[in-house]
Amino acid sequence: MMAPSRLALVAGSAALVLGLASCADSRVTTVSQLSPATSPTSGLPEPVRPAVPRPAGYAGNLRVLDWAGFQGAVSYSLDDSQPSHVEHYAELQATGIPMTFYVNAGTAKDALATWRQALADGHEIANHTADHCHVDPGAPPTLSGCLFGPDQPNPPPGATPGSEIDDNTAWISAQLGAPGVWTMATPFGDSDWDDFARPRFLLNRAVFQGMIAPGDTTDPFHLPCYMAGATQDGGIDDQPATFDGLIDQARAEDKWMIFLFHSILPTAANWYGGVDIASITASTDHVKSLGDVWADTVVNVGAYWRAQTMFAAITPESCANGIVTWRWSLPANFPPGKFLRVTVDGGTLMQAGEPLPWNDHGYYEVALDKGTLSLVP
């Protein structure tokens, strides 16, 4: 849930530590193995396209593909761990699109089985604070206007902005079994939460309209979205044509857009901004019909976006034997097991002394955990 104030974009991005690697010389023939739906290397979905032969030209011109090789990206986020999310979970799961649920311990505790199942099904369970309060700036900052918790609208005794976040993360880990909590959504879209998110998460979603481009200056701790069904507070309407138009715009402009949904209709618990489940699933059908738009969680798309920006800032080392090497250190709170998709004009890309297999959808997949990449002539 959100308030219509404090919706300004804060430009800038977190600094990333970059460096250079030493050279090594190794050559091995690559072999391509494909899954028709997801990559056997990264687990990322595959864009629909004809088979692409492995590049056989000069070893150079490495390029990171935008949005994992898709023509734009979309994420579905749902706030407040509402009863209507539980009621309609089966329909959301049936779309086959991984979604991000921003949960509050104060409401999620009433449906533990559903949220554990969502995690097991591959959805992201992320942080929306324990009690969904406003932050009142000051020294020290205080909380007010809490939506959840036994003392609402007052915060729990002794609660701080940091404890509201940290207690919720601890609850998600302990009660739902999440291996990590990587992203946050600010209660009410209140930008005063942003600075508390920065040291704790990879990304923070706010509530104001906009899209995100590869390598742009969008603040990763103040991401835009399109809130559906609450036009009185600056949101978009609840019509499938509106949703489809935004998806088509992201695709045409090579951008990432995030939907925000609150209550899902029909329900007896229409807390805020209700949107019919049929409108949501119609939009997911539209995404899937396009075949070249990446629909995934906020953390999955956002980690790719941040890693691409990181990689673009690296100055590689060129050695006398013709090998070119990149090295990097991932930012704090970066999830493990993530990949970038890249292409080159020719040569062999190597990580940890092993060649990267060519994926016939048109790229190599670079494991970000390994921290280095070399291109061998």
Q: Which residues of the chain have pLDDT under 70?
A: 1-36
Domain assignment of residue 13, yes or no: no
Contact by Cβ (8 Å): 45, 358: no
Crossing angle of the two packed helices 240-253 and 277-290, in degrees rounded to 10: 30
Q: C-alpha angle 90/96/67, rounded to 5°?
A: 140
Query: Domain ends where: 301, 331, 357?
Result: 301
Residues 212 and 350 in one domain: no
Query: Domain ends where: 286, 301, 316?
Result: 301
Residues 211 and 320 in one domain: no
Query: Domain ends where: 276, 301, 326?
Result: 301
What total number of domains does the chain contain? 2
Residues 271 and 258 in one domain: yes
What's the domain range around 323?
18-69+302-376
Domain assignment of residue 1, yes or no: no
Quick one: which of 57, 25, 24, 27 has its CA closest to 348? 27
Residues 108 and 135 in one domain: yes
Q: Name 375's bridge partners.
A: 324, 349
Residues 22 and 115 in one domain: no
pLDDT at residue 48, as a whole number: 84
Q: What is the pLDDT of residues 94-152, one digit of tens each?
A: 999 999 999 999 999 999 999 999 999 999 999 999 999 999 988 899 999 999 999 99
Residues 259 and 231 in one domain: yes
Q: What global pTM score does this model have?
A: 0.90
Residues 150 and 233 in one domain: yes
Amino acid at position 93, single letter: Q
DSSP letter at 191? G
Residues 61 and 105 in one domain: no
Residues 193 and 245 in one domain: yes
pLDDT at residue 33, as a whole number: 26
Domain assignment of residue 4, yes or no: no
Residues 26 and 126 in one domain: no
Q: What is the pLDDT of residues 305-346, one digit of tens each?
A: 999 999 999 999 998 899 999 999 999 999 999 999 999 999
